Amino acid sequence: MSSYPFSGKTIAIDFETASEARASACSIGLAWIEDGEVVRVEERLIRPPGMRFSSFNIAIHGIRPEDVADQPEFPDVMAEFFEDFHGAAMIAHNASFDFSVLRASLDFYGLAYPELSYYCSVKLAQRHWPDLPSHRLNCLADHLGLSFDHHNAAEDARVCALATLAMAEEAGVSGIGALAERTGVRPGRLHRDGYEACSFVKRARRAPVLQ
């Protein structure tokens, strides 16, 4: 258990998609953080609109049309979790992708955006561990000595959560907001009127020392 338990509701999220279309989610993984540890991990398969799968995406995650043919569509899957999302701080590894999938899927089905803030663990890791040769999720798992089944949505969410906890513990902070402030990462937001992207805070250059 971490010495720095997270305050507030924090959830890591990961999507796998059936094709290049953002509104083609075929799997979602979620990992809940409470009291400095991952306390719950869930995965659900999703039947994407039109059931069009690309061979490229199948090669990445291994999910095929027959795996999701009898699964519920996005609105029914999300109904189980949407109350958890409202007011949460959420994390994704490469959040620009996962939250574009969420937005595109909500738009496709005419659903309102939940009110939440979100953070990108790639950006957090780039600032917290700047000397790592790569900040891909499998590289962070190797760095932390974590077993990992990459491109399984539940595993991706779990390792994203564990990497974020590790960064917070090393930084000596008690929540993802404090970690983002320490590393110079501005949270993104979803709200009923749209969204703002997660981004780096531009750091002021140090003035040259005059001799």
168-179 pLDDT per residue, tens: 999 999 899 999
Close Cβ partners of 159 (under 8 Å, ≥ 6 residues apart):
93, 137, 140, 141, 146, 148
pLDDT score recorded for residue 208:
57
pLDDT score recorded for residue 35:
86
C-alpha distances (whole Å) from 62 to each of 16, 50, 71, 77, 88 are 10, 18, 16, 20, 30
For the segment 49-59, what is each residue's pLDDT rounded down to a tens digit? 999 999 999 99
Asked if 37 and 2 count as a contact pair (C-beta separation under 8 A), the reply is: yes
Residue 92: closest CA among 9, 173, 189, 15: 15
Burial 151-190 (b: 16+ CB within 10 A, else e): bbbbbbbbbbbbbbbbbbbebebbbbbbbbebbebbbbbb
pLDDT score recorded for residue 209:
52
The whole model's pTM is what? Answer: 0.93
Kindly give the parts of the chain with pLDDT less than 70. Answer: 1-7, 203-211
Amino acid identity at 196: E
pLDDT score recorded for residue 8:
74
